Amino acid sequence: MNQSQQSAWWKESVIYQVYPKSFYDSNNDGVGDIPGIIAKLPYLKTLGITLIWVSPFYRSPGADNGYDIADYYAVNPDLGQMQDVDNLIKQAGELGIEVMVDLVVNHTSDEHPWFQAALADPQSKYRDYYIFKPAAAGGAPNNWRSIFGGSAWEKVAGEECYYLHVFHKKQPDLNWENPQLREEIYAMINWWLDKGIAGFRIDAITFIKKDQDYASLPADGIDGLASIKAKSRNRPGIERFLHELKERTFRRHRCVTVGEAPGVPLEEYDSYIGPDGYFNMIFDFHAADIDVENGSEWFKQRDWNVREFREALFASQRAFCQAGWGTTFIENHDQPRALSKL
Domain contains 149: no
Domain contains 305: yes
Domain contains 228: no
* C-alpha radius of gyration, the chain, whole number: 20
Q: From CA 246, how far away is CA 266, in angstroms rounded?
A: 21
**pLDDT, tens digit (0-9, with 9 covering 90-100), for 73-88:** 999 999 999 999 999 9
Domain contains 223: no
* Catalytic-labelled residue, pool 33, 260, 284, 291: 260
Domain contains 127: no
303 noted as active-site residue? no
Inter-residue contact 271 to 293 (CB < 8 Å): no
DSSP per-residue string spanning 213-246: T-------STTS-EETHHHHSS-TTHHHHHHHHH
Domain total of the chain: 1
Domain contains 143: no
* Catalytic-labelled residue, pool 33, 84, 173, 203: 203
Domain contains 44: yes
Domain contains 16: yes
The stretches in the chain having pLDDT less than 70 are: 1-7, 293-299
Inter-residue contact 82 to 39 (CB < 8 Å): no
Nearest CA-CA partner of 247 in 239, 235, 259: 239
Domain containing 19: what range? 3-107+179-210+237-341
Q: Would you state the pLDDT for residue 38?
A: 99
Q: Where residue 11 sits, what CATH number does that domain have? A: 3.20.20.80
The one-letter amino acid at 94: E
Q: 273: which residues sit within 8 A by CB, 6+ positions away?
A: 4, 279, 280, 281, 282, 320, 323, 324, 325, 326
Question: Which conformational region is residue 314 in: left (phi greater than 0), alpha (psi within -120 to 50 degrees), or beta?
Answer: alpha
78 noted as active-site residue? no
Q: From CA 19, how far away is CA 36, in angstroms rounded?
A: 11
**pLDDT, tens digit (0-9, with 9 covering 90-100), for 269-285:** 999 999 999 999 999 88
Q: From CA 332, how far away is CA 40, in angstroms rounded?
A: 22
